[in-house]
Amino acid sequence: MLGHTACGNKKAQAREEPPTALTHDFGTIAHGKSAEHDFVLDTRAFGDLVALGVSADCSCSRSQMFLRDAHGQERAITGQPFAEFAAKPAEVLVIRMLIDSAQKEPVDIGPVKSKASVILQQVDARDSYHRIQWPLLFQYTIDSPVKVKPYAVLDFGRVPRSAQPTQTTLLQSDLPGKRATFSAPHCDDPRFQFTLKNDGEWAQLVTTFTPKDSLLEPFRTLVTIDTDLPDSYQVKLAAVGAVIDDFEVLPMPAITLRADPQHEQPATQATTQYLLITDHDRRRPPEFQLVKFVDSTGKDVQKFFEVRFEPVIGEERTRRLFLRCLGGLSAREFRGELVLGKDADEGPFLSIAVVAFAQQSP
């Protein structure tokens, strides 16, 4: 019993005094290149430990784990908490860290100070309480051979289906005394079109995105531009954004009226009962018209509700849609559908769910 207590105290003490951090400076890395370093950890000083993995705060770092013996022979470990993956006598744990600068934007960065932790666990541990985190501190600087203006990311933001936005980017060599020629850009997403013109020291890139009938979801692609710079350097620009519908309803295409459908709702109680509706298609006027208002059975209920639109200052394509219950329905709860459109016959149409119910008395 006493021996068990002493062992527990030793593990607790090791947890309170974590291993000393290992440090490394990767120096300056040319953008598009990578740098590698082996962190060597003598884990046996802390008992029979198994390395479970490496957690780093740097998105461009990648790590592999090995056990290396005195003769330099290495064996891979999987991160599973098995005794076979613990260091044997004369073995050390090696964390091989790679910094891949191609994962970063093509701009000068740094020095960047980052940290990682090697997660270690006792072979006989049955929970995570006795895990040890061995800190790794590292830094690096990235030197890009090109200048990119105004931004090194083509951020298109929220793109309505009917839109065709463009981004203009300027490219220039950042190597002393060396001009660069930039070749035609390419990417895997056919919705992007490019125009590139080399004009003196600067090259102008115009990127156009055409969503057409795209799914309503975020998009991301990598635009690659070949150059005549040393090592056949390629400029890689991330193009990001999200495709949205031309009809947009905020906060959602549904509205709830806290009013008894049998009785008229006072106008003062309806001032906050509105939605923001937007038509992003600039080929059409921004106004909406009421096409139909029906209950859950399809019966027309327009005469039981007031529906009005108001412009929003500073948002020419947006309207406030106000609803107010005028009473006269037979039930104290209502569920139906409000349909708006641009053309009552041909559309397009916007459907909004409407619910009204009487508030319960306290």
- pLDDT in the model for residue 361: 56
The identity of residue 123, as a single letter, is V
Tokens standing for 186?
A: 């390419």
Q: Are 305 and 352 in contact (CB under 8 A)?
A: no
In this predicted structure, the answer to whether residue 5 has a pLDDT above a threshold of 50 is no
First to last CA, the chain: 62
Tokens standing for 225?
A: 């531009």
More confident residue, 168 or 45: 168
The residues that bridge with 128 in the sheet, in sequence order, are none
Prediction pTM value: 0.74
How far apart CA 146 and CA 233 sit, in angstroms, is 9
- Where residue 115 falls among pLDDT bands split at 50, 70, 90? very high
Please report where in the chains the tokens 């115009």 appear, as a residue: 206
pLDDT in tens, 309-333: 999 999 999 999 999 999 999 999 9
15-24, 249-258, 288-297, range with the lowest pLDDT: 15-24
Kind and range of the H or E run holding 339: strand 333-341
* N residues, the chain: 362
DSSP 6: H
Instruction: Name the percent of the chain lying above pLDDT 90.
Output: 72
How far apart CA 170 and CA 239 sit, in angstroms, is 15
The residues that bridge with 226 in the sheet, in sequence order, are 234
E strands in 57-108: 61-68, 74-76, 92-100
Q: Are 235 and 225 in contact (CB under 8 A)?
A: yes
How far apart CA 94 and CA 42 sit, in angstroms, is 9
- pLDDT in the model for residue 212: 84
Please report where in the chains the tokens 């004009």 appear, as a residue: 199
Provide CB contacts within 8 A for 84, sequence distance 6+. Answer: none
Residue range 98-108: average pLDDT?
90
Provide CB contacts within 8 A for 273, sequence distance 6+. Answer: 255, 257, 322, 323, 324
Domains of the chain, CATH where assigned: 2-143 (2.60.40.10), 157-244 (2.60.40.10), 247-357 (2.60.40)
Q: Is 271 helix (H, G, I), strand (E, B) or coil?
A: coil
- Where residue 8 falls among pLDDT bands split at 50, 70, 90? very low
Distances (CA, A) of 358 to 118, 256, 354: 59, 11, 14
Q: Give the residue among 200, 199, 237, 201 at the shortest CA–CA distance from 221.
A: 237
Q: Are 194 and 246 in contact (CB under 8 A)?
A: no
In this predicted structure, the answer to whether residue 156 has a pLDDT above a threshold of 90 is yes
More confident residue, 48 or 4: 48
Radius of gyration, alpha carbons of the chain:
32
In this predicted structure, the answer to whether residue 128 has a pLDDT above a threshold of 80 is no
